[in-house]
Amino acid sequence: MHSQDYDRLYLSPPHLGRHELNYLHKAIEDNWVAPVGPNLDGFERDICEATGVAHAVALNSGTAAIHLGLRLLGVAPGDEVLCPSFTFVATANPITYLGATPVFIDSEAQTWNMCPERLREALEDLRRQNRRPRALILVHLYGMPCRLAEILAVAEEFGVPVLEDAAEALGATYEGRALGSFGAVGVFSFNGNKILTTSGGGVLVTNNADWARQALSWATQARDAAPYYQHSELGYNYRLSNLLAGIGRGQMGLLEDRVKKRREIYAWYQQHLTGLPGLSFGPAEPAGGRSNRWLSCLLLDPAATAVTPEQLRLHLETHNVESRPLWKPLHLQPLFAGATMYGGAVCTDLFTRGLCLPSGSAMKETDLRRVADAIREIIPA
């Protein structure tokens, strides 16, 4: 058995370029394998340049970046943190790591991200109960900007600091500015299936120099400035290795190209499949927003087609094509049973009706045709 099936069309496989190996070679030749090294500095500089944020800290996962970011915002045991329900579990798990509790908010139908009206309702309702959330996590799901202007205005009005989970949104923009640069803290993931990858990794960005230093210290076991190992604070082993940062450097040079390619893939699907009964594409860009189209997603309307997303997924499997349901909302997860939830109908409906299609930036037109032909077999025009 081979570990990889070369005929299989994967959802979002890694797509390396020509320069990653050079950075790896150099790191090994110069013996900069661990623990720090020039690739880490260079990778962090690349991130700052691409996002316009002053400071970046490279970590071993996006989840670690969210964990440190929430701690920077002061999240502590007993606190509540506002969070969209429609997201990957990694957005919310660090809330629990810190002994705090998530309060979930529904999506709106255009961007599929946090609904500003529901957010306001939640903040007003919590205020009536004297519950003041410590932080708000925003997510730009599938690389689609949320309705940032409205949400940031509400957050400011209620005095809640924002962490921006841009794990899926590297290279996407809002009003011409990089996503991840709007919150007090921003987070990116370089996990294997994201738009760029270091095989595994994450980055925390902030304009606050003290916070960047603090995050770096926590990520490296929070060692005091002493010749021996002395620790006053709780730390973690969260730093990215200099080797993997080398892959990141090679990848960062490809960002624009990868965004262009993913957007073309989405446009291709839309052009070639729109019009099939009950099938539509989404989410849609808000005013001022430009998605990176990390994953191309479709929705099926049960009033217009008898085919369910699960039937379509299994049909694509018979063609050795991987597809995947949309994220299952967190308020429906056994892990978060009993959590406070504001709304829920929108994200539950999206979950019930949606499917993510192969969207890797190395896809060729013949690959796209293979997916489209398979879909047409089961949903004829």
Ligand X SMILES: *Cc1c(COP(=O)(O)O)cnc(C)c1O
What does the binding site for ligand X look like in residue numbers (CB under 6 A)?
A: 61-63, 87-88, 90-91, 139, 165, 167-168, 189, 191, 202
Buried b (16+ CB within 10 A) or exposed e, 145-172: bbbbebbbebbeebebbbbbbbbbbbbb
Residue nearest to ligand X (CB): 62
Q: How far apart are CA 170 and CA 142, in angstroms?
A: 10
What is the C-alpha separation between 77 and 101, in angstroms, rounded? 8
CB of 165 to ligand X, least distance (A): 5
User: What is the Cα–Cα distance from 315 to 313, expressed in whole angstroms?
Assistant: 5
Nearer to ligand X, 73 or 139 (CB): 139
Contacting residues for 347 by C-beta, under 8 A, at least 6 apart: 84, 85, 86, 106, 107, 112, 329
Closer CB to ligand X, 101 or 197, in the complex: 197
Q: Report d(CA 180, CA 137) in Å as an integer.
A: 11
Q: Which run of H or of E encompasses 81?
A: strand 80-84
Task: Annotate 194-252 with three-state secondary structure.
Answer: CCCCCCCCEEEEECCHHHHHHHHHHHECCCCCCCCCCCCCCCCECECCHHHHHHHHHHH
Instruction: Find the length of the chain.
Output: 381
Burial (0-12, 13-18, 19+ Cβ within 10 Å), 232? exposed
Tokens of 248: 């990141």
Which DSSP category does 114 fall into? B
Q: Which is nearer to ligand X, 75 or 273 (CB)?
A: 75
> Cα–Cα distance between 201 and 236 in angstroms, integer?
15
